Chains A and B, each alone.
Chain A
């Protein structure tokens, strides 16, 4: 084979040895700005996958891009080494780096629909990747067919002639994977490649990645905020916080016995599908670059912090088979916190339901999305509506709230039938049924203060004096654990979790009887998700609210709801108490939903779920 720009890659069987070695990587903001990422060191063996996890803003994506010698605009890689098969990518000339990218190190982005060129056929795009690195592959056509097979897509001419928009999200992501594997690189960097996919597709993509890495001895770095996904896929995991790796070690052990308080916090926030537990999130916010202070960055949010933590920056120590950056690692390792179980749910009430949905069918234009759906929400109870994306769960919520008016059937609230659209409903009904939107980044008017946003709700639904209104606003903000100093803040000064609390406060301030929560945690970090779910659960209990909790995450259901309805392709697949649905074998749809939910390896029952699946490739 020709010894061209890139060394030949002939690895067809797993090779042993270190493929990627990163030492003291540091990325700064601007020329002399604060560090965004620093002291990052790790190594990845051939055929293994390293998971890089942390909340958003922890610097994991910045590290991922640095592995390709790239820094986002405004950032600069200031020091460190990225040794790939012994050659330092950061020391390469721009030409050599360009030759290496795509051929020796490749990248799979988060959103395949924007990463693929919408005007090129997928076959053309796949060949393009091979043509750029002329000489890397002898016969591009055969290689395209080969990688398509490997990602379980048919390499038929029709398939290759399709445009990206003619493929589903999962297929698009497989094309992106095929592109990344096309040149048989030594390293693949995957930046949350399954975030936009539903659980079943996600699992197939994960299986593909795992199998390909084993088969070709590729080292992979997998960035994710989803611990459950990572736990089933990767061999080692690095937990990042505020630009540093706080804990790194073998996956199974690290998840089973986490040492760093941050890792413990993250794991405590992951809902368990097996037991109804109170979720414990991590309160507070990660310090931004330049505001990280002298000591441990996590000290402000840490339950174990002592005074030394705020002054002395912890150095990594090796303990229980992993490296931890914590001053109190030895003390903490000995403790084993357990999550308390959620108090047993109240017995099913025989009262008339607060909300009753009967025979509802809905459509967008001529496309029907809901077929004859029925459900009851008893007073003071929380009903979860679960389903994959596209199952119609959000449409159901929007019909009930009056945001979607193209439906037939009957929805009755406290005994009276609801009008189709919100504007046909009386003020009284609008006040009693409150809706919390999925995305807190768009549900708050960026030109209004938190005070104005919550106050406006009161103004619309009553004629209280300013004094009475403001007392209620302050009270409700305290109920959602935001102090009065949030009154004068604007939404862009808040984190995602804080915004969602404001949205919850806005709904609660008018004292509704029914709360509809539409995937309220899906755009939040898992640590924040836990806090929001726990907040909603507490409020629902204290205020005796009826609640509909829409989610795609079956595991979350146990922590909040007493009964659940599983939607599949717009129809009710199963309904009943949460206990029934989650514990007994169920119709295929629920079974699939349940099976594909990634479980945290350390917490899952031994031998069950994702860990056992191992490297086996399963084809849908």
Chain B
């Protein structure tokens, strides 16, 4: 009856096989945003991001216009006072965020991509590849992140793209370590062996079979690395490796105005607070995401047990 069925069943449609596309990471993100911790983190980070994005369009003055006395106290005209050259602090704040954010985002993306590629291939290929990749990672890890970036910059000059690459590169080893251990666990599972028995090439096994199971650790790592990127890039700007002086930049502003701290503290405090809020926000949200993701990514057997109890309804 089965093999020689008189009427062959109609072939499946594409959407039937594909199923309802379940972007699991999107639902986890949403769930994380609805926890108190996640809501606070997301609120903090997104308000700073919003400020940086719409800032250039609503700034009252040009960021490099010399308008008043140096270190003027806040007034009705200049809400946060002026900086060491008499420029409007508020305008410079509104103008100085987006470059930092773009650089941080790019550096994070670079670090995650490079680190994930290294970590996953080390864990999956094992043997000599694992040794070579992980020893290289250890060498890079031996340098403190900031020192490593400084070293590259002092050798090649402070260019924005170079800063981004340097910061991204300095993230890669940590990302590689985390993803290597996550991959070691996944690549032991039988579905990876089943793919190998289909004669699938290693590169395809890694991208098609293993990678989709690493979404949660990847997202957590991305959030964490974003936080570090912001801190390091702002720190480098503070040290003078960033946009050259006339440009507005939160890290640079802290450095430029610290001599006038007693006269107009807002020129230092507000950029510092913005950086702090942004990093606390991204970090808190990442934490919330990780907590939700752990609940979702329980090993399948455990999940099945819990399902047996019907525990999925509570939490």
**Interfacial residues, chain A to chain B (CB-CB below 8 A):** 29-30, 33-34, 36, 56-57, 62, 72, 74-75, 288-291, 401-403, 422-423, 425, 427, 430, 434-435, 437-439, 441-449, 451-452, 455-457, 460-461, 466-468, 470-471, 473-475, 478-479, 484, 487-492, 496, 506, 538-539, 542-543
> Could you tell me if A446 and B16 are in contact, using CB atoms closer than 8 angstroms?
no
Question: Hey, what's the 0/1 contact readout for B3-38 against A, CB within 8 Å counting as 1?
Answer: 101001111111111111010100000000000000
Q: Which residue of A lies closest to B20 (CB)?
A: A488
Contacting residues, chain A, for B212 (C-beta < 8 A): 445, 447-448
A446 to B12, CA, bound (A): 21
Residues of A within 8 A of B193 (CB): 403, 437, 443
A439 with B190: CB separation less than 8 A? yes
Assess the A30–B314 pair: CB atoms within 8 A. Answer: yes
Q: Which residue of A lies closest to B212 (CB)?
A: A447
Complex formed: what's the CA distance from A457 to B195 in Å?
Answer: 8
List, in ascending order, chain B residues with CB within 8 A of A466's CB: 14
Known A-B contacts A288-B307, A471-B9, A475-B8; the reply to A441 vs B196 at CB < 8 A is no
Chain A residues near B69 (CB-CB < 8 A): none
A478 touches B2 (CB 8 A): yes
The stretch from B95-103, B285-293, B297-305 touching chain A is B297-305
In contact, B19 and A474 (Cβ under 8 angstroms): no
B245 to chain A, nearest CB (A): 49
Jot down 28 A-B pairs with beta carbons below 8 A, ordered by A. Answer: A29-B310, A29-B314, A74-B311, A288-B307, A289-B310, A401-B197, A430-B197, A430-B199, A443-B194, A445-B195, A446-B300, A449-B18, A449-B19, A451-B17, A451-B19, A456-B195, A456-B198, A457-B198, A466-B14, A467-B11, A470-B11, A470-B13, A470-B17, A471-B9, A478-B5, A487-B16, A496-B304, A542-B2
A437 contact set on B, CB distance < 8 A: 190, 193-194
Distance (whole angstroms) from the CB of B296 to the closest CB of chain A: 10
In the assembly, what is the distance between CA of A441 and CA of B298, in Å?
A: 12
Contact B196 A423, beta carbon cutoff 8 Å: yes
CA distance A252 to B84 in the complex (A): 95
Residue of chain B at shortest CB distance from A453: B191
Residues of B within 8 A of A423 (CB): 196, 199
Which residues of the other chain, B, contact A461 by a CB distance below 8 angstroms?
Answer: 198-199
B208 → A minimal CB distance (Å): 8
Q: A588–B311 Cα gap in the complex (Å)?
A: 48
Smallest CB-CB A-B distances: 10 pairs: A451-B17, A488-B19, A57-B308, A471-B11, A443-B190, A447-B212, A289-B310, A470-B12, A449-B19, A460-B198
Q: Which B residues are CB-close (under 8 A) to A542?
A: 2-3
Chain B: residues with CB nearer than 8 A to chain A?
A: 2-3, 5, 8-20, 22, 24, 189-191, 193-200, 209, 212-213, 300-301, 303-304, 307-311, 313-314
Q: Does A492 lie within 8 Å of B300, measured CB to CB?
A: yes
Q: In angstroms, how far is the closest chain B Cβ from the Cβ of A191?
A: 13
CB-CB under 8 A from A478, the residues of chain B are 2, 5, 9
Shortest distance from the beta carbon of B315 to any chain A beta carbon, whole Å: 8
Q: Which residues of B contact A506 (CB under 8 A)?
A: 194
| Chain B positions within 8 Å of A448 at CB level | 212
Please state if A445 and B22 are interface contacts (CB–CB under 8 Å): no
Q: What is the bound-complex CA distance between A288 and B213, given in angstroms?
A: 27
A29→B11 contact, CB < 8 A: no
Among the interface residues A466, A475, A488, which one has the most CB atoms of the partner chain B within 10 A? A488
Q: Which residues in A have their C-beta under 8 angstroms from that of B17? A: 449, 451-452, 455, 470, 473, 487-488
What's the Cα separation between A403 and B314 when bound, in Å? 41
Q: How far is the CA of A401 from the CA of B198 in the complex (A)?
A: 11
Is the pair B199, A422 in contact by a Cβ cutoff of 8 Å?
A: yes
